[in-house]
Amino acid sequence: MRAVRALVAFAPPWVVALMFLAAPAGFLDLPAHAEPNAAIAKDARLAGDRERTRFIADLSKKVDVQVFALGNPYRVIVDAADVSFQMPQGIGKEPRGLVTAFRYGLFAPGKSRIVLDVSGPFLIDKSFVLEARDDQPARLVIDLVPTDEKTFQASLQKARQAAVEKASLPLPAAPVRPAAAKPIIVLDPGHGGVDPGTSSTNGVTEKEVVLQFAKELKKKLAATGRYEIYLTREDDTFLPLKDRVAFAQKKGAGLFLSIHADYFPTKIDDARGATVYTLSEQASDEEARELAAKENFSDAIAGVELPDDSDEVVANILIDLAQRETQNRSVVFARSIVGELAGKAALHTRRLRSAGFRVLKAPDVPSVLLELGFLSNAEDEKELTSERWRDRMTDSVTEAIDGYFAERIARMPF
């Protein structure tokens, strides 16, 4: 619970509503996803009270939707194929009845999602889509009523299987590689689609900043001719954490770099600068632990079923036994990044830290998470959105990757 509270403290509900607010001109580099035949969601609102809360979305035409509930935290998920969102700015942040907030976005290519946050145990009493009629647009209607925890859990049991199936994207089979193939690097821009990550007061979202950075870094790495590089996402699409890990494993990655931007309440500490994180069971410090909880919450934001506690325990034992060598390499790479950035870019005072990041848990792929800087800090925000900074920073990370692989090759037996 503490982790969830920490997240709420870091990312109040209005943050998610900022996801489609205007970013500085020319900064947005996200392709439009509107298919020619896509339905358009033009508006959405809440009605009713705590006894019965109604969610209504206006659509340009009738679409098929899947509506299901998730617990921990309480949420309603609405999935539909090809819905383009053209909602008014800032909606979804006003609580009403049982719903504390809602958000929307692309969940996977061609798949759109709306997530409602609910304040307590509930039942989906009704959900239907009405045809357009007379002067009324087509409408998605969902009615929620309160219930007790036991009844909620029983209803969840039914929804669970469907949700887990939806969460997994099919992954391509691992390619057979020639012996002298180039090292494979997987870059992982965090968040995306329905999960904007953190955001600045000006509405610059983490998901945009990290995607631009990853694309630029890919270009730089490709220009060396020494690597094969893949991005876990190429556009404004959400990807569950375990699929990011699986993507790196399937590609046979020699290195996995997850890219994020942080936010820290300036009232507590106007933190700034880049920080490099590796995986550890015991967090290096309290802030690192809270950050990992916040980043791990990505799946919950997007409405993905979270693994239960027993899965986590098993995962931790596996880390202990199988990951030691991978861990050592991760730390070597993390130090290499810090070494390159020192003197060239702003680094956080505690630049090398560790915690239980789910996205770093591939037992066979050295993995590092780079927080580029703080969107809560005005100077960092300026840099994170500047081309010059991106150019300098991606140069440094390329150098760090070069250094890491040069050392690896030098240590090989032949």
Residues that bind Zn ion (CB under 5 A): 190, 197, 260, 295
User: Least distance to Zn ion from the beta carbon of 406, Å?
Assistant: 29
**Shortest-Cβ-distance residue relative to Zn ion:** 260
Q: Which is nearer to Zn ion, 144 or 210 (CB)?
A: 210
d(CA 112, CA 92): 16
330 DSSP 8-state letter: H
User: Considering the complex, what minimum distance in angstroms separates the CB of residue 191 from Zn ion?
Assistant: 6
Residue pair 278/327 in contact by the 8 Å Cβ criterion? yes
Least Cβ distance, residue 285 to Zn ion (angstroms)? 18
For the bound state, the minimum distance from the C-beta of residue 262 to Zn ion, rounded and expressed in Å, comes to 7
Decide whether 290 or 295 has the Cβ nearer to Zn ion: 295
Nearest alpha-carbon partner for 48 in 99, 2, 102, 1: 99
CB of 414 vs Zn ion, minimal distance in Å: 40
Amino acid at 30: L
DSSP H helices in 252-285: none
In terms of CB distance, is 295 or 299 closer to Zn ion? 295
214/226 Cα distance (integer angstroms): 17
Beta bridge partners of 115: 77, 103
Q: Which is nearer to Zn ion, 197 or 254 (CB)?
A: 197
CA 329 to chain centre: 25
Among 36, 46, 45, which Cα is nearest to 84's?
A: 36
Strand, helix or coil at 202?
Answer: coil
Quote the least distance from Cβ 369 to Zn ion, whole Å.
8
CA–CA separation, 370 vs 15, rounded Å?
22
- Cβ proximity to Zn ion: between 228 and 295 the closer is 295
What gap in Å lies between CA 145 and CA 131, rounded to an integer? Answer: 24
Distance of CA 296 to the CA centre of its chain: 8
CB-nearer residue toward Zn ion: 79 or 295 = 295
Evaluate the omega torsion of the peptide bond into residue 73 and state whether it is cis, within 30 degrees of 0.
yes
Minimum CB distance to Zn ion smaller for 7 or for 83: 7
For residue 159, the minimal CB distance to Zn ion (Å) is 27
